[in-house]
Amino acid sequence: MSVDKLALCIASFGIFAYLLAMKYSAKRFKNWPLYRLVLFVSGTLAGLQAVSGSVAMQAHHSFVYHMIGHLLLGMLSPLLLVLSRPMTLVLRALPQSGSKAVSHLFCSRYARLIIHPITAAVLNIGGLWLLYTTPLFHHMHQASWISFLVHLHVFAAGYVFTLAMLYSDPVAYRKSHMYRMVVFIFALAGHGILSKYLYVNPPAGVAPADAQAGAVLMYYGGDLIDLILIFLLCWQWYQTAAPKTSLPATKTAE
């Protein structure tokens, strides 16, 4: 119960902070687009639904609901939140000294390591393998603090991975589109292989029929959200690869 309230508090604080940042950024820059607020709020609600809504209640008994929660918390919510560009908004809203400190943080060695596509993919997909193929899944249902940490990791790893693929917020030391696409294919394959693995090897304490339904959901649900990510990644490439017709002098063999 306390976890529910904590999640609700964090969510409302997040939305409040986003609104406040929108107000402050509008003082110096042009208005922050409203659709990003919609993205942020829906992302927050999707995450909230997974940890404290009816999905979370059912998830204790049903693996299918656990998987719905996982899709919401680890994939959909991070995608929506990343697209709402919260870091950019924070950088705009803060006074110069504040945004300098934040950007210093983004350039730190730790941030560089975490946001590297390979690290982000390993944290995300590797974490899932760890959860479902070791006794961790069993322990998660025994102790609420383990459950809390697992949920936190699923969300954070999903967020960092999505950001490391899309670079919608300022990210230092960027990798090329091709690099990220290759990493993405590995990550997506790891997700698909894990779901088929779970189809035959249910996690401890899950009935086979329940595990099979959950695995199929994980496979196709993951596909659907990853398709959106793939589309966005390719769309970014398409925009950056546009022929520079207005400046023929600088045209290269790009």
From 126, 124, 192, 99, select the one nearest 115 (Cα to Cα).
124
Other Cβ atoms closer than 10 A to 9: 10
CB-nearer residue toward another protein: 169 or 226: 226
CB-nearer residue toward another protein: 1 or 241: 241
CB-nearer residue toward another protein: 36 or 180: 180
| Closest separation in Å from C-beta 78 to another protein | 19
Got the DSSP string for the chain? Answer: -HHHHHHHHHHHHHHHHHHHHHHHHHHHSSPPPHHHHHHHHHHHHHHHHHHHSHHHHHHTT-HHHHHHHHHIIIIIHHHHHHHT-HHHHHHHHS-HHHHHHHHHHHTSHHHHHHHSHHHHHIIIIIHHHHHHHSTHHHHHHH-HHHHHHHHHHHHHHHHHHHHHHH--S--SSPPPHHHHHHHHHHHHHHHHHHHHHHHHSPPTT--HHHHHHHHHHHHHHHHHHHHHHHHHHHHHHHHHT---TT-GGG----
| Closest separation in Å from C-beta 10 to another protein | 33
CB-nearer residue toward another protein: 132 or 184: 184
CB-nearer residue toward another protein: 51 or 215: 215
| Closest separation in Å from C-beta 190 to another protein | 7
| Closest separation in Å from C-beta 207 to another protein | 17
User: What tokens appear for 30 in the block?
Assistant: 């042009």
User: What tokens appear for 21 in the block?
Assistant: 């940042």
User: What tokens appear for 50 in the block?
Assistant: 């997974």
| Closest separation in Å from C-beta 121 to another protein | 12
CB-nearer residue toward another protein: 80 or 187: 187
Applying CB under 8 A, which residues contact another protein? 181, 184-186, 188-190, 192-193, 196-197, 199-200, 216, 219, 223, 226-227, 230-231, 234-235, 237-238, 241-243, 253
CB-nearer residue toward another protein: 95 or 243: 243
| Closest separation in Å from C-beta 183 to another protein | 11
| Closest separation in Å from C-beta 216 to another protein | 6
